[in-house]
């Protein structure tokens, strides 16, 4: 008699509770983040785990993967694969799925929201009213967004969605990307420095990972015009945070509006102390609508894996 392989799913980090519950209703679910001694738990139970669910911003380390010899699937709640060693997964025949397609609009909306918040002083204006300052002072002027130049770093799905929105604001769109996109009516730049020089808003929409680590460094920041804003909705790893802090402190650029940081959830005290920044807690895809869709995509992939069907969102 052959034994049925286990249908054991390991959650690496908390995801929306309705996903954990849905998974638990169909499979055997364990939460690594609730284990007092995760490595000891893995040593004891790791061989039964066949699927891992993790978040894009968390990924899963090779140290954990090494302890999961029966693993066949990593289902990412998000689109970023930078937290997973894809060489390792290829070598060990582990499929990887992402929540492709469902979060693009929300993240692009957040990019435009950050541009408007920064240039039009929305956060400062809110504080100004709440603190009663309006009774005694005039509000400060902001800077126009419509008709300005936007430079987009990374022209994947999210970059394209940002460009589409920017066009509605009559903005001139330029970009750098791993490859030129001849189907797009925007200006493709050869290098990041020239893109930075000619952008009023430099928006980071590229993938994280070793290839793009600290792509936005002191040289790029110093190429930006003094009135320009840096916007980051991608990954904190793309920016040299210390160089950014120095540029902001010296007013070498006008400001930065960001949803992501190098060591989340830790945000450098220097950034928090600055007035010319807008800070969000990595919530680009965090809407009820999108999180529900992300949940459904993750579940569909785990379910297909255990049913030995084609994975709908394999990378
Ligand atoms: C999510 C993300 O915030 O898609 C990604 O890679 O980083 C975000 O959409 C994250 O994965 C869930 O916390």
Q: Please say if 137 is a catalytic residue.
A: no
Tell me: do 132 and 269 sit in the same domain: yes
Task: Based on the fold, state whether residues 234 and 86 are members of the same structural domain.
Answer: no
Catalytic pick from 149, 189, 282, 295? 282
For 30-47, write each residue's pLDDT tens digit. Answer: 999 999 999 999 999 999
Q: Convert the pLDDT of each residue in 118-135 to its tens digit.
A: 999 999 999 999 999 999
Judge if 130 and 237 occupy the same domain: yes
Q: Which residues contact 279 (CB under 8 A, 6 or more apart)?
A: 257, 258, 267, 271, 272
The domain of 65 spans 5-102+289-306
Distance 286 CA to ligand 1 centre (A): 8
* 152 and 259 belong to one structural domain: yes
Residues 97 and 150 in one domain: no
> pLDDT confidence of 6, banded at 50, 70, 90?
confident
**129 Cα–ligand 1 center, Å:** 33
CATH number reported for the structural domain that contains residue 14 in this entry: 3.40.50.720
Q: Tokens for 157, please give them.
A: 């799905």
For residues 171 and 250, state if they share a domain: yes
Considering the domain architecture, whether residues 298 and 216 belong to the same structural domain is answered as no
Domain count, the chain: 2
Question: Closest residue (by CA) to atom 1 of ligand 1?
Answer: 78
206 and 135 co-located in one domain:
yes
- Pair 226, 293 in one domain: no
Q: How far is the CA of 143 from the centre of ligand 1 (A)?
A: 30
Q: Has residue 1 got a pLDDT over 80? A: no
Same domain (yes/no): 86, 108: no
What confidence tier does 4 reach under pLDDT thresholds 50, 70, 90? low
Residues 59 and 166 in one domain: no
In a domain, 188, yes or no: yes
- Give CA 269 to chain center in angstroms: 21
pLDDT number for residue 246: 98
First-residue to last-residue Cα distance in the chain: 35
pLDDT tens profile 68-86? 999 999 999 999 999 999 9
Quick check: is 261 in a domain?
Answer: yes
Note if the bond before 265 is cis, omega within 30 degrees. yes
Q: What is the pLDDT of residues 250-287, one digit of tens each?
A: 999 999 999 999 999 999 999 999 999 999 999 999 99
């Amino acid at each position: 008699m052959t034994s049925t392989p286990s249908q054991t799913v390991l959650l690496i980090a908390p995801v929306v509770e309705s996903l954990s519950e849905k998974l638990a209703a169909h499979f055997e679910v364990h939460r690594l983040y609730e284990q007092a001694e995760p490595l000891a738990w893995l040593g004891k139970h790791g061989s039964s785990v066949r699927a891992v669910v993790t978040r894009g911003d968390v990924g899963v380390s090779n140290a954990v993967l090494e302890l999961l010899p029966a693993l066949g699937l990593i289902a990412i709640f998000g689109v970023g694969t930078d937290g997973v060693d894809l060489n390792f997964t290829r070598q060990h025949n582990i499929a990887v799925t992402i929540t492709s397609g469902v979060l693009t609009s929300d993240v692009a909306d957040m990019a435009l929201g950050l541009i408007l918040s920064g240039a039009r002083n929305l956060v400062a204006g809110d504080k100004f009213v709440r603190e009663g300052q309006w009774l005694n002072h005039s509000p400060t002027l902001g800077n126009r967004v419509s008709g300005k130049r936007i430079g987009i770093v990374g022209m994947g799905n999210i970059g394209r969605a940002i460009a589409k929105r920017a066009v509605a604001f009559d903005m001139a769109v330029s970009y750098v990307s791993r490859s030129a996109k001849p189907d797009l009516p925007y200006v493709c730049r050869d290098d990041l420095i020239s893109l930075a020089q000619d952008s009023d808003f430099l928006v980071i929409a590229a993938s994280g990972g070793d290839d793009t680590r600290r792509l936005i460094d002191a040289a790029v920041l110093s190429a930006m015009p003094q009135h320009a804003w840096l916007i980051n909705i991608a990954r904190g790893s793309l920016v040299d945070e210390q160089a950014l802090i120095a540029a902001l402190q010296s007013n070498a650029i006008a400001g930065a509006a960001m949803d992501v940081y190098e060591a989340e959830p830790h945000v450098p005290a220097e950034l928090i102390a600055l007035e010319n920044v807008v800070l969000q807690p990595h919530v680009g895809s965090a809407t009820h609508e999108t999180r529900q869709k992300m949940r459904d995509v993750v579940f569909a992939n785990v379910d297909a894996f255990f049913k030995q069907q084609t994975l709908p969102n394999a990378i």
